[in-house]
Amino acid sequence: MSAPAHPQRNAELLGIYVNDHLAAATGGIELVCRMLRVHAGSRWEAPLRQLLDELRDEKASLLAVTQALGIPVRQYKQLGVWVAEKVTRAKLNGRLLSRSPLSDLVEFEFLASAVRGKRSGFETLRIVAEVDDRIDAAELDRLIDQAHRQYEWLTDARRDVAAATFGGRPAAAERTGGH
């Protein structure tokens, strides 16, 4: 590996940043796995399965960034997010012993928001790639485009789930400025 073209600043902060995104990737994978169990056989199964495959691929790409930059992976952060995802299953949703329709909406909303955050993280790493050629800029461009497509799908899905939960038309939200 070559040295950075123009040394990037705050390498220790970049290590924290990348590890935070790795931890979030772990939580996203866990959430989509749970959603797949809930939505098995439904119209959401195939797109959720594709999303899961893409999330795993993205996590592998983030791990490649950590290796390229010599950033140690902080396993405790990933473990913490994994545990937190399990704890959120006990959240209050209006029902104590059964799954609420609100759970579906909250999960799709959370995923849409998380994918926007993930896309921002890939964009930040793409900016860093301008000053550090150890980072694969083309791979980050691919990940940014993929995250944008995921967000588009999740936005449509959460609108459908909101309409199914509370009534109304999913298209009614499109006039608010969209995505």
User: Domain coordinates of the chain in residue numbers?
Assistant: 11-79+99-168
Band the pLDDT of 121: cuts 50, 70, 90. very high
Query: What average pLDDT does the segment 150-158 reach?
Result: 97
Dihedral sign (CA 39, 45, 47, 51): positive
- Between 10 and 66, the more confident residue is 66
Is the pTM value of this prediction over 0.85? no
Query: What average pLDDT does the segment 140-155 reach?
Result: 98
Looking at 5-9, 48-52, 64-68, which range is the least confident one? Answer: 5-9
What's the helix, strand, coil split of the chain in %, to 5?
A: 75, 0, 25
Closest CA to 17 of 130, 121, 129, 131: 121
What pLDDT was estimated at residue 97?
A: 57
What pLDDT was estimated at residue 9?
A: 75
Tell me the percentage of the chain whose pLDDT exceeds 70. 79
Band the pLDDT of 92: cuts 50, 70, 90. very low
Query: What average pLDDT does the segment 73-83 reach?
Result: 61
**Could you identify the residue written with the tokens 């497509």?**
149
Tell me the percentage of the chain whose pLDDT exceeds 90. 71
Q: Is the pLDDT assigned to residue 168 strictly greater than 80? A: yes
